């Protein structure tokens, strides 16, 4: 499945969730042992209800303009509709076979697509999650992201997954997505953003550190379908 927040995060959960934010890891500092809890970095296997999240992470509190960095970013990054955007998200997931094979030990399949829209962070519902799409200049979906606002605490947002198809990597799409997420988080009073990255995913670690993330801890190995992965949890202060 696509790695999830529960997997990349701290507390063990039923069902796995995606892992790693982005797809580009290397041992860093602060290698202290911690409880085997923080799952992967996406929360995609929790089996939520098929609730629409096209207006925000909470159906009772839709996003407004103040939560988007600017109009350009608003067009480039947007909440996904689980029905209307399913085909586009599936294309991105299948195109990212290199990353998902690294994580799971097998190429992506329909299970990964379904779990992207249904996974949730521990103790959260579908309507509390942000399933985002990242578009190219011509409006084509080239990436997806899974975010848990207010997880694991009210002052924190957790990026469970930031997945870009190969053609979009290195184009600035990942940075745009992070800017959108960080602006939205700040607008909701969050003080930090957390992510989890696979230890062997060196490119992803470099990417997030370049954006100002610092390593908090090394998480104990956890099973992702056919493979076991240790992860690093990183933090960005807002």
Beta strand 227-237 pairing with 38-39: unpaired
Residue 3's pLDDT is what? 54
Alpha-carbon span 5 to 62, nearest angstrom: 22
Residue 76's pLDDT is what? 87
CATH of 5-237, one of 3.40.630.30, 3.40.80.10, 3.40.30.10, 3.40.190.10: 3.40.630.30
Residue 191's pLDDT is what? 98
Query: Is 200 in contact with 74 (CB distance < 8 Å)?
Result: no
Residue 170's pLDDT is what? 87
CB atoms within 10 A of CB 64: 10
Residue 63's pLDDT is what? 32
Task: Say which residues have a Cβ less than 8 Å from residue 125's Cβ, sequence separation at least 6.
Answer: 48, 49, 51
Alpha-carbon span 40 to 141, nearest angstrom: 24
Ranges of residues in the chain whose predicted pLDDT is under 70: 1-75
Residue 149 has φ and ψ, to the nearest 5°, of -70, 140
Give me the sign of the Cα torsion angle 213, 48, 10, 8: negative
Residue 231's pLDDT is what? 93
CA 73 to chain centroid: 18
Structure tokens at 192: 């930090």
Strand pairing partners for 168? none
Q: Interior CA angle at 221 toward 120 and 147, to 5°?
A: 25
Alpha-carbon span 167 to 117, nearest angstrom: 23
């Amino acid at each position: 499945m696509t790695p999830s927040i529960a997997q990349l995060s701290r507390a063990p959960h039923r069902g796995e969730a995606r892992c790693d934010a982005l797809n580009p890891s290397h041992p860093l500092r602060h290698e202290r042992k911690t409880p085997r809890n923080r799952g992967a970095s996406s929360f995609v296997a929790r089996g939520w209800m098929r609730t629409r999240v096209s207006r925000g992470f909470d159906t009772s509190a839709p996003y407004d303009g103040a939560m988007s960095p600017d109009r350009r970013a608003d067009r480039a990054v947007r909440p996904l509709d689980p029905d209307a955007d399913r085909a586009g998200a599936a294309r991105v997931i299948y195109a990212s076979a290199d990353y998902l094979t690294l994580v799971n030990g097998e190429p992506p399949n329909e299970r990964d697509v379904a779990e992207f829209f249904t996974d949730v962070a521990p103790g959260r519902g579908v309507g509390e999650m942000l399933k985002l799409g990242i578009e190219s200049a011509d409006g084509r979906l080239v990436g997806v992201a899974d975010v848990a606002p207010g997880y694991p605490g009210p002052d924190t947002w957790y990026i469970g997954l930031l997945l870009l198809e190969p053609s979009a990597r290195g184009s600035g799409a990942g940075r745009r997505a992070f800017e959108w997420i960080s602006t939205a988080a700040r607008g909701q009073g969050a003080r930090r953003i957390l992510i989890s990255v696979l230890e062997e995913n060196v490119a992803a670690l470099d990417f997030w550190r370049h954006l100002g993330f610092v390593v908090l801890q090394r998480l104990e190995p956890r099973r992702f379908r056919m493979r076991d992965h240790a992860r690093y949890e990183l933090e960005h202060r807002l």
